[in-house]
Protein backbone atom coordinates (compact mmCIF):
# COMPACT_ATOMS: atom_id res chain seq x y z
CA UNK A 1 0.00 0.00 0.00
CA UNK A 2 1.35 3.46 -0.96
CA UNK A 3 0.42 6.44 1.17
CA UNK A 4 0.40 9.86 -0.46
CA UNK A 5 2.29 12.47 1.55
CA UNK A 6 0.38 15.59 2.64
CA UNK A 7 2.78 18.44 1.82
CA UNK A 8 2.45 21.92 3.33
CA UNK A 9 4.48 25.08 2.89
CA UNK A 10 6.78 26.07 5.71
CA UNK A 11 5.46 28.97 7.79
CA UNK A 12 8.83 30.66 7.18
CA UNK A 13 8.41 30.60 3.38
CA UNK A 14 7.21 33.73 1.63
CA UNK A 15 4.05 33.77 -0.48
CA UNK A 16 5.61 36.50 -2.62
CA UNK A 17 8.84 34.82 -3.66
CA UNK A 18 9.96 31.67 -5.36
CA UNK A 19 11.95 30.38 -2.38
CA UNK A 20 9.64 27.95 -0.63
CA UNK A 21 10.21 24.86 1.42
CA UNK A 22 7.50 22.22 1.78
CA UNK A 23 7.27 19.66 4.56
CA UNK A 24 5.38 16.38 4.90
CA UNK A 25 5.15 14.47 8.17
CA UNK A 26 4.80 10.71 7.96
CA UNK A 27 5.77 9.22 11.29
CA UNK A 28 8.50 8.21 11.86
CA UNK A 29 9.94 10.46 9.14
CA UNK A 30 9.90 14.12 8.14
CA UNK A 31 10.20 14.92 4.42
CA UNK A 32 11.50 18.24 3.03
CA UNK A 33 11.39 19.43 -0.59
CA UNK A 34 11.73 22.54 -2.74
CA UNK A 35 8.28 23.70 -3.81
CA UNK A 36 9.65 24.82 -7.20
CA UNK A 37 10.83 21.27 -7.96
CA UNK A 38 8.22 18.95 -6.45
CA UNK A 39 9.53 15.91 -8.31
CA UNK A 40 13.15 16.63 -7.42
CA UNK A 41 15.33 15.51 -4.57
CA UNK A 42 13.97 15.34 -1.04
CA UNK A 43 15.53 15.25 2.37
CA UNK A 44 14.15 12.70 4.82
CA UNK A 45 14.84 12.73 8.55
CA UNK A 46 13.82 10.55 11.46
CA UNK A 47 11.69 12.25 14.12
CA UNK A 48 14.67 12.28 16.50
CA UNK A 49 17.12 13.73 13.96
CA UNK A 50 14.62 16.45 12.98
CA UNK A 51 14.07 17.39 16.65
CA UNK A 52 17.83 17.63 17.19
CA UNK A 53 18.18 19.82 14.10
CA UNK A 54 15.40 22.17 15.28
CA UNK A 55 16.99 22.48 18.72
CA UNK A 56 20.36 23.26 17.11
CA UNK A 57 18.87 25.79 14.67
CA UNK A 58 16.93 27.56 17.43
CA UNK A 59 20.15 28.05 19.36
CA UNK A 60 21.90 29.85 16.49
Q: Which residues partner with 42 through β-bridges?
A: 33
Domain range spanning residue 39? 21-58
Distance (Å, whole) CA 12 – CA 10: 5
Is residue 5 one of the residues assigned to a domain?
Answer: no
48 membership: H or E segment, kind and range: helix 47-58
pLDDT for 47 beyond 50: yes
* Interatomic CA distance for residues 31 and 7, integer angstroms: 9
Question: For residues 4-37, b (16+ Cβ closer than 10 Å) or e, as one string?
Answer: eeeeeeeeebeeeeeeeebbbeeeeebbbbeeee
Residue 7 forms part of a structural domain: no
Residue 17 has pLDDT above 70, yes or no: no
pTM over 0.85: no
Is the confidence at residue 1, as pLDDT, over 80? no
How many domains does the chain contain in total? 1
**31 lies in a domain?**
yes
Is residue 37 domain-resident?
yes
In a domain, 12, yes or no: no
Residue 25 within a domain? yes
CA 52 to chain centroid, in Å, comes to: 15
Amino acid sequence: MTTELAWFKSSYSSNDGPDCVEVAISSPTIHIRDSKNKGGSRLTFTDGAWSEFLEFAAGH
